[in-house]
């Protein structure tokens, strides 16, 4: 999240059914209200969490109904103010830059490709703002610490409270510009192997 923040600026936010103080967040605006309330109470600007967290919001009537239910989150979310800059955690190349403009989709979505020796892996950044179109292009090399976008407002990020969805992906499985951000219980093992915990890339060292 860049040099403006330290580890003390982050607090862990639980949006799972285990959190007994969590109100009904079946709709994004209710979730936004709760997250902002927690940020005020903690007096910290950055709420984070969600890796492999089961969330009731994905059972909201706002989502297209499908079976089996996909309600296990595959990434880390960082909730903070719109227009906050996002920085590349490591060197990479812009693999895709897409506007997924559906309701409760990713909005502006960046996927970077990273290579270690002869192997590639990917990081996905969702819910970005339109300014990313002026910063990056497909095939561009980016360096660790380089600004790669800003958080989008609700009007451009799929309708969510401003936040970053950061996901590590070992195999894109043929996807370009998009990748599942939640999975069903039956796919838990598959996605656990393919989408390792990205917390290392989010929190200051």
Mean pLDDT across the chain? 92
Question: Does position 64 have pLDDT exceeding 70, yes or no?
Answer: no
Q: What single-letter DSSP state applies at residue 59?
A: G
Per mean pLDDT, which range of 26-35, 75-84, 89-98, 190-199 is the poorest?
A: 26-35
Structural domains for the chain: 7-202 (2.70.70.10)
- What are the pLDDT digits (tens) for 122-180? 999 999 999 999 999 999 999 999 999 999 999 999 889 999 999 999 999 999 999 99
**What's the pTM?**
0.94
Percent of the chain, pLDDT > 70? 96
Residue-level pLDDT at 24: 81
Q: Where are the beta strands (DSSP E) in 5-146?
A: 10-12, 46-49, 70-73, 76-79, 85-87, 92-100, 107-116, 119-128, 141-142
Residues 94 and 136 sit within 8 Å (Cβ to Cβ): yes
Q: What percent of the chain has pLDDT over 90?
A: 74
Cβ contact 136:97 at 8 Å: yes
Q: Is the predicted pLDDT of residue 62 greater than 80, yes or no?
A: no
Residue 55 has pLDDT above 70, yes or no: yes
Q: What is the pLDDT of residue 73?
A: 95
Q: What is the pLDDT of residue 117?
A: 86
pLDDT tens profile 175-200 = 999 999 999 999 999 999 999 999 98
- Do residues 162 and 107 touch, judged by C-beta distance below 8 A? no
What is the average pLDDT across 63-88? 88
Residue 61 has pLDDT above 80, yes or no: no
Grade residue 22 by pLDDT with cuts at 50, 70 and 90.
Answer: confident
Q: Which is nearest to 192 in space by CA: 51, 61, 90?
A: 51
Q: Residue 205: what pLDDT?
A: 72
- What size, in residues, is the chain? 205
């Amino acid at each position: 999240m860049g040099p403006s923040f330290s580890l003390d600026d982050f607090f862990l936010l639980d949006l799972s059914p285990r959190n007994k103080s969590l109100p009904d967040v079946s709709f994004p605006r209710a979730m936004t209200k709760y997250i902002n309330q927690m940020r005020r109470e903690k007096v910290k600007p950055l709420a984070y969490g969600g890796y492999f967290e089961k969330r009731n919001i994905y059972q909201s009537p706002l989502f297209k109904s499908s079976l089996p239910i996909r309600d296990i989150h595959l990434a880390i979310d960082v909730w903070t103010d719109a227009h906050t800059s996002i920085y590349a955690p490591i060197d990479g190349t812009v693999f895709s830059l897409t506007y997924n403009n559906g309701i409760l989709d990713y909005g502006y979505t960046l996927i970077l490709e990273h290579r270690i020796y002869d192997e590639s892996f990917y990081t996905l950044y969702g819910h970005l703002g339109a300014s990313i179109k002026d910063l990056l292009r497909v095939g561009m090399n980016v360096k660790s610490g380089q600004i790669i976008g800003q958080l989008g407002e609700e009007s451009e990020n799929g309708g969510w409270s401003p936040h970053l969805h950061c996901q590590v992906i070992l195999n894109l499985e043929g996807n370009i510009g998009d990748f599942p951000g939640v999975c069903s219980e039956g796919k838990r093992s598959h996605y656990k192997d393919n989408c390792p915990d990205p917390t290392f890339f989010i929190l200051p060292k």
